[in-house]
């Protein structure tokens, strides 16, 4: 007896699996032109999420201060090689 397992079903909640299946069914019915529009929209959503996360970090004073110190360290040559960092972990 062979049992086929969809790995997506194991790692995702059932509701998300159902949404993925529904999205795939709808996408398969789209024309090339509409599929391009879907890709553009999905890219927009992904970019928006990235910018929201960046904005959230940039609005935290401690993060901004840490980035300023890091830039000063780079300018002053206070750097560590990746090998040294890796050994410290």
Is residue 1 in some structural domain? no
74, part of any domain:
yes
Name the domain count of the chain.
1
Residue range(s) defining the domain that contains residue 41 = 31-89
pTM: 0.50
Separation of alpha carbons 66 and 74, rounded Å: 12
Per-residue pLDDT of the chain (89 residues; tens, 9 = 90+): 455 555 555 667 888 899 999 999 999 999 999 999 999 999 999 999 999 999 999 999 999 999 999 999 999 999 988 888 888 77
């Amino acid at each position: 007896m062979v049992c086929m397992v969809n790995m997506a079903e194991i790692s995702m909640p059932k509701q998300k699996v159902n949404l993925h299946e529904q999205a795939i069914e709808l996408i398969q019915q789209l024309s090339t032109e509409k599929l391009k529009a879907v890709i553009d929209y999905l890219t927009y959503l992904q970019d928006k999420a990235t910018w929201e996360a960046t904005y959230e970090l940039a609005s935290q004073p401690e993060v901004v201060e840490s980035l300023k110190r890091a830039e000063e360290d780079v300018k002053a040559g206070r750097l560590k090689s990746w090998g040294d960092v890796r050994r410290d972990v």
